[in-house]
Amino acid sequence: MKEQIIIFDTTLRDGEQSPGASMNTKEKIQIATQLEKLGVDVIEAGFAAASKGDFEAINQIAKVVKNSTVCSLARALENDIIQAGEAIKPAPKQRIHTFIATSPIHMEYKLKMTTSQVIKKAVEAVTLAKSFVDDVEFSCEDAGRSDIGFLKEISDAVIEAGAKTINLPDTVGIKMPSEVGQMVQKVYDHIGRRAIISVHNHNDLGLAVANSLAAVQNGARQIECTINGLGERAGNAALEEIIMALKVREDYFNDLYTNINTKEIYPSSRMIATITGIEPQPNKAIVGKNAFAHESGIHQDGILKNKKTYEIFSPEEIGLDLKDTLVLGKHSGRAAFKDKLEKLGFTLSSDELESAFEKFKELADKKKDVYDDDLRALVTSNMTSVDKAYEIISLQLMDATGGVPSAAITIKMPDNSEVTDAAIGDGTIDAIFKTIDRITGHSGALMDYKVKSISKGKDALASVTVQVNFNTDEPAVIGHGLSVDTMLASARAYLGALNSYNSMKGMLKKRDNKGV
Ligand code: KIV
Ligand code: ZN
């Protein structure tokens, strides 16, 4: 009998803890919808008690996701669990994931609690969570550095209280694969089938995927992971690497299966990279830009004779169609546009399709060939923009070289009026951002600015990602801007950040100790 490995995706929770990866509610809904299409069993949609924004996003996701279980993280605290239970209520399948640290260092210094106090808190948390949902997961935070006897003891207690999954995270990413394997095996020998054993490995030593696979070989039946390996510090185990290892080496991982549709891996990876602005490194396994690039003559010769000489799986298996990247031009019609978007994994309502088609036509007027990546960027930015927003009407730049750089900008305000103003700056970008500040009455501190070209050609679409802090008590927000003109893309990115900030006003995580 084949056994299922449950795929628990935490891109929207641990992944969002990657520096610079915070997302707005619309973006999170878009990602959750794609994760469901990908076939993940559990979507950890956020940490409901962390902020109003997190609560709202989880609640909205719970309303749209039907097939995957929607989960919220909660510390072993009454209010956290109540918030989590309320946030996931609309979902047909709901889970609360509660946790407390179990390692000596965390219990002594962070929690200042004894082992019996920790067990008591854990049992109270699971009992309260059970009053909201049947499906409760308990995590022993820092299990990797915890005493194995204590892991068994606390597992017994929380299983007795109703926990169905016991998660053993290597929170600090310090373990070797054989050590994770032994830990899982010992806990598995003790609890048997009374609960599912899960792992959650961080990648501080680059071993998160190897550790997750070692856990599976020793009895773990749930893996927590993220798309593109996003996550706190060096990230979490990358979903795409785990899935393709299990698939390509089916002979090695005997009789195990997942519900993942591998053809949705590449679209998911691109969507998350586009939304967060965090690109996987070019040589990243499975989804990196070079993952299928055969550079040396010997390799190219082999590939031409038989792909299997150097390719262990085909790009098509992960939904990457290398032959079909040149797409549309200005004479392409709606039907071809819709067909192409469907192939890329986007399902749009007729209004969304119409608006994306208009943007595509504008782009095709300026750019001869529109590629898959252009379309992904265009559709994602269109779908994730917020309502009632500021919008650039026109941008004029003067004296970029020699004189004093200045910008004159007209912006459509949220009340539909148009305001024009101008400012000088230390450089052109500075002048643009200062003008936007003058018009909108905000004053943003630019924390990060990145520009990259989407696809190729001198007329390539520029994608600008900015991270801007509009309030020192709150985290910075991300904005993306697209245009064949880099300066216009920069202005759009800055306004995008401001629009995101306004749409989340009062809902962002405050700078307190509520983060995980
Ligand atoms: O890394 C960790 O231990 C976590 C837990 C909250 C599961 O993210
Ligand atoms: Zn984690």
pLDDT score at 27:
87
344 to 184, 327, 466: CA distances (angstroms): 39, 11, 26
pLDDT score at 22:
77
Of 299, 322, 326, the closest CA to residue 310 belongs to 299
* DSSP per-residue letters across 165-195: EEEEEETT----HHHHHHHHHHHHHHHGGGS
| Ligand 1 atom 2: residue of nearest CA | 171
pLDDT at 174 over 50: yes
| Average pLDDT for 345-359 | 84
pLDDT at 79 over 50: yes
pLDDT score at 512:
46
| Average pLDDT for 29-39 | 95
Atom number in ligand 1 closest to CA 10: 8
Residue recorded with tokens 């269109």: 382
Bridge-based pairing of strands 135-141 and 165-170 is: parallel
User: What CA dihedral angle connects 149, 151, 156 and 160, to 10 degrees?
Assistant: 160
Architecture of domain 3-276: Alpha-Beta Barrel (3.20)
Rounded CA separation 382/322 (Å): 25
pLDDT at 410 over 60: yes
Give the predicted TM-score (pTM) of the model: 0.88
| Ligand 1 atom 5: residue of nearest CA | 141
| Average pLDDT for 205-219 | 98
Lookup: tokens for 112: 């200042």
pLDDT score at 509:
62
Q: In what helix (H) or strand (E) does residue 273 lie, and over which residues does it extend? A: helix 265-276
Domain ranges in the chain are: 3-276, 334-383, 391-504
| Average pLDDT for 138-161 | 98
Rounded CA separation 230/199 (Å): 16
Ligand that comes closest to the CA of residue 139: 1
**Average pLDDT over all residues of the chain:** 91
pLDDT at 511 over 50: no
pLDDT score at 331:
83
Contact present, 169 and 223 (Cβ < 8 Å): no
pLDDT at 26 over 90: no
Tell me, using a 6 A CB cutoff, whether residue 200 lines ligand 1: yes
Residue recorded with tokens 């002048």: 431
Tell me, using a 6 A CB cutoff, whether residue 98 lines ligand 1: no
Beta-ladder partners of 56: none
Within 78-166, residue ranges assigned H as helices are: 78-87, 104-105, 115-130, 148-161
Ligand that comes closest to the CA of residue 44: 1
Confidence at 516, pLDDT banded by 50, 70, 90:
very low
Rounded CA separation 89/62 (Å): 7
The correct answer on CATH 2.40.340.10 for the domain covering 391-504 is no
Residue 19, number of CB atoms within 10 A of its CB: 13
Tell me, using a 6 A CB cutoff, whether residue 141 lines ligand 1: yes
Q: In what helix (H) or strand (E) does residue 38 lie, and over which residues does it extend? A: helix 25-38
Ligand 1 probe mutation, 72, 202, 223, most atoms within 8 A of CB = 202
Rounded CA separation 263/246 (Å): 15
Confidence at 42, pLDDT banded by 50, 70, 90:
very high
Tell me, using a 6 A CB cutoff, whether residue 99 lines ligand 1: yes
Confidence at 325, pLDDT banded by 50, 70, 90:
low
pLDDT score at 369:
81
Lookup: tokens for 459: 């007329």
Bridge-based pairing of strands 42-46 and 165-170 is: unpaired
Lookup: tokens for 352: 């969304």
Within 313-446, residue ranges assigned H as helices are: 334-343, 350-366, 372-384, 428-440
Tell me, using a 6 A CB cutoff, whether residue 516 lines ligand 1: yes
pLDDT score at 486:
95
Atom number in ligand 1 closest to CA 202: 1
